[in-house]
Amino acid sequence: MLVKPGRSFPLGATYDGEGTNFALYSVHAEKVELCLFDLAGNETRIQLRHRTAFIWHIYIVGIKPGQFYGYRVSGPYDPERGLRFNPKVLLLDPYAKALSGIENHEAGLFAHNPHSPHKDLEISKELACGTPKGIVTGEEFDWEGDKSPDYPFHKSIIYEAHVKGITALREDIPAEIRGTYAALASEPMIKYFKDLGITTIELLPVHQHIDDPFLYEKGLTNYWGYSTLSFFAPEIRYSSDKTPGGPVREFKEMVKKLHAAGLEVIIDVVYNHTCEGNHEGPTMSFKGIDNIGYYRLMPDRRRFYKDYTGTGNTINVVNPQTLQLIMDSLRYWVEKMHVDGFRFDLASTLAREMHAWNQLSSFFTIIHQDPVISRVKLIAEPWDVGEGGYQVGNFPVLWAEWNAKYRDLMRSFWKGDEGCIGEIGYRFTGSSDLYENDGRRPYMSINFITAHDGFTMRDLVSYNQKHNLANQEGNRDGHNDNRSYNYGHEGDTDDARINRIRLRQIRNFMATLMFSQGTPMMCGGDEILRTQKGNNNVYCQDNEISWFDWNLSSEAETMLAFTKKLIAIRKAHPVLRRTKFFQGRKIRGSEIRDIVWLKPDGHEMDDATWTSHNTRYVTIFLAGTGIDDVDENGIPLQDDNFLLMMNASDQDINFVFPAVKADWRLMVDTCDPHLKETPVSGQTTMMSAKSFKLFRSGGIIDLRGVDL
C-alpha cells in the first residue's frame, strides 16, 4: 500500500482514478488514524501524519470507490473543557458521500460510559463501532442532459411529502421498491403528481439520520429524519439498492426521472443540529472529531451545549470551518445530486452570531454571494426555540419563508374565531406587512394550512385535542395551539351532518390556499383526506399512522378531483398568482382598482367592518387588467376578473354582487365539489355557512358609474 502526504483540499474522501485523498478537519486532535475495512470487516489503521491549517490529510494509491472507512481520533477526554476525544470510538467522516448502513446500537455509539454514575464525565474503555462506515464514491453517473424545470416561485405549487410514507402502501408499485427513491419516481407516482398539477416536491429530510437512543429503547424510530448524521449521504433506508453507493445512484435516478417529468425536487435540510444530542448523547462523528469546533458550547460550562433547537445541541456556524461544511454540503446537493432547492429546518438558528439572530450574519452573506446556492429555491422555517428565535418576515431578500402567520390566521378565520378579518387583508394578498419593505415579493410567502408537523387537514376538522399516546410520551409532545374544531364529535363519526361540514371546511382550506397570493404548499395526503387519527406529532411513527392509505373512499376521490380543479384554475390565471403586491389604486387609464374588498351587501368595506370582531365574511374583487406585470416575452399580462366570496360565519348569508355589469360565472363552490362552471343570473347569491365561492368574468367590466 503506497501512502503519500496528500492534500488538505477537498475535504472528505476524493478518488482521482489512481487512489484516494482523505482530508479531515480537527483543531484540537493530537492524533488521527484512518481506518480501512475489508468486506469481512477487518480493520487496518493508518496514521495521518500531515496537517495543514488544522486539516489532517493523506493519499493512498489504489484505494477505489467502494472502500469502507472511518476515523479514530485521539486527544484529551475532558468534557469540562469541551474535549471529548476517545480513539475507542469509530467516527464517521463528516464529508462521507455514502454510508455502509444504519447505526448499530448494540455495537456501541458512546465515547463515555452511559451506565456510570458520573455520566459523560467518565470515558468509555469499550470499543464503540456502531457508527456506519463511510464509503469512497466515484463520479460516474449518466445524467443524460438532465436540466431543472426551474419554476419561478409564483408559478410553483409545492407538495410536501415523506419518501417512504407516500409509497409504502401503494399497491401499483412493486413491493420490493415501495417506500424508496425508486418508488417516488415510478410511473404511477409521476402520473399522480402530474395529474394533480403540482410543480415541486418538497421531501422531508433525506440526509442519513439515526434513530435516537431514547426512541430505539421504546421500539420506535425517527420517522421524519430530523436527526442528521451525515450532511452528504442520502438516507440508505429509502433506497432499494443497498449495495455500496447504491443510495447515491438511486437518489440521482429519482431526480433525473422527476425532472424529465417537469417536477422539481426540494429537500428539507437540518443544519442547525446533529444526531449526537447533548452531553449525554452518542459520539458518532462531529463530537469525537472536534467538539469545540462543530458545536456551540456554554461559554462558562463547556461540558454543556447551547440548545436553540430543542434537540440537545446547536451547530456552531460562527466557526468558519463549520460554515464551510454547510456550504459544501449545499453545493454538493445542487451540483452533484441536482436538487432544485432547500427548506431549512429551524433556520433562525443558522443566523445566530454570538447569541442573537442577525440578518447580516455570515451564513446569509456567504449564501448571497455563492453563484450556485443563491440560484436555487431557498425556503426558511423562520424560527427556533431560543429567545428571539421567531423571525417570520425578517429573512433577507433571496429567502422565501414558511408563513406561520398565514397558517394560524386561516385556521382561526374558518373556525369562526373573532377578530380575524383585519389580518385577512394581509395574509390573503401575500403578507405585504412582512415582505414588501425589504425588496421581496408576494411569492416569498410560503402559504400553508398544514404541514408534516401538526394535524392533517382532515384531523384539523375532526379533533379538538391532539391524540399522541402512540408516541409514548404521555401525550405531552406536539403542539397544543392547533386552532382545530371537531364539529361535535372527537374523531371519526357516522354523523352525516358533521361529516358534511368537515368536508366543506377541508375544501374551504384548500380553496383559500390555492387562491391566496403567495406560493402555496400543500401537505401531501390532504388531497385524499389522509388522517393520522389525531396524532399531531408523528415524528416517530413509521407505520400506518403516517403512511398514505391509497384505498380511497368516494369522499377522498371527490376531494382529489376538487384539488386538481383548484390547482388547474390557479395555474391558468396569473391574477391569482401575482408577482407584485396589490396597491389598491386605480389602474392607469381606468376607473377600476386592482383589488377591492366588499361587504355582503356589495358595498366597499369600511373601517367599522374591518375592525369589527364579528366580521366573518368578505367578497374580494380582483381586476384582471390590474396585474401590472409582463409575461416571458415582455407582453403585458391580462386576465379575467374574479370575485372571491368567503363566509366563515355559522349563518347562511345572501351576498350581493358589486353593482357592475359583468357576466359572472361560478367556477368553485365548496358546497358543491362536483360543480361545473355555471353562468350566474340575478344580483345575489346565497352563501351557506362556512363556504367559499369563486366567480370569474371575462372581457371589460362596465362600471356604470360605480367606483371599483
Among the residue ranges 137-151, 346-360, 389-403, 641-655, the one predicted with the least confidence is 346-360
Given a cut of 70, whether residue 73 has pLDDT beyond it is yes
On the question of a common fold for 3-135 and 582-697, the answer reads yes
Residue 706: the pLDDT is 45
CA distances from 619 to 8, 226, 581 (A): 64, 42, 18
Residue 1: the pLDDT is 84
Taking a C-beta distance cutoff of 8 angstroms, is the pair 531, 465 a contact? no
If we measure between CA atoms, which residue out of 479, 478, 500, 480 comes closest to residue 489? 500
How many whole angstroms separate alpha carbon 446 and alpha carbon 313? Answer: 28
Given a cut of 60, whether residue 179 has pLDDT beyond it is yes
State residue 298 phi and psi, 5-degree precision. Answer: -65, 125
Q: Confidence band (pLDDT; 50, 70, 90) for 592?
A: confident
How many whole angstroms separate alpha carbon 541 and alpha carbon 110? Answer: 25
CA distances from 637 to 88, 518, 545, 626 (A): 66, 18, 45, 9
495 is catalytic: no
Catalytic residue selected from 250, 264, 381, 639: 381
Domain extent listing, the chain: 3-135, 153-575, 582-697
**55 CB neighbour count, 10 Å cutoff:** 19
- Residue-wise burial string across 134-146, b where 16 or more C-beta atoms lie within 10 A, e elsewhere: bbbbbeebeeeee
Assigned architecture for domain 153-575: Alpha-Beta Barrel (3.20)
Residue 378: the pLDDT is 99
Give the tens place of pLDDT for each residue, 633-678: 999 999 999 999 999 999 999 999 998 888 999 999 999 999 999 9
Instruction: Cell numbers for 701, please give them.
Output: 367590466
For the chain, give the mean pLDDT: 96
Q: What percent of the chain has pLDDT over 90?
A: 93
Given a cut of 50, whether residue 312 has pLDDT beyond it is yes
Indicate the pTM of the whole model: 0.97
DSSP conformation class of 355: S
Q: What percent of the chain has pLDDT over 70?
A: 98
16 is catalytic: no
Residue 30: the pLDDT is 99
| 445-447 and 134-135 strand pairing | unpaired
The mean pLDDT of 40-60, rounded to a whole number, is 98
Given a cut of 90, whether residue 704 has pLDDT beyond it is no
If we measure between CA atoms, which residue out of 553, 520, 493, 505 comes closest to residue 673? 505
The mean pLDDT of 537-566, rounded to a whole number, is 99
How many whole angstroms separate alpha carbon 182 and alpha carbon 197? Answer: 21
The mean pLDDT of 604-633, rounded to a whole number, is 94
Residue 59: the pLDDT is 99
The listed CATH number (3.20.20.150, 3.40.190.10, 1.10.10.10, 2.60.40.10) that belongs to domain 3-135 = 2.60.40.10
Given a cut of 60, whether residue 487 has pLDDT beyond it is yes
In 423-475, the DSSP E strands lie at 445-447
The mean pLDDT of 408-423, rounded to a whole number, is 98
Give the three-class secondary structure for 473.
coil
CATH class of the 582-697 domain in this structure: mainly beta
Residue 203: the pLDDT is 99
The mean pLDDT of 156-174, rounded to a whole number, is 99
Catalytic residue selected from 103, 250, 264, 345: 345
The mean pLDDT of 116-134, rounded to a whole number, is 97
Residue 703: the pLDDT is 45
If we measure between CA atoms, which residue out of 578, 69, 3, 94 comes closest to residue 295? 94
Among the residue ranges 161-175, 483-497, 589-603, 634-648, the one predicted with the least confidence is 589-603
Given a cut of 60, whether residue 701 has pLDDT beyond it is no
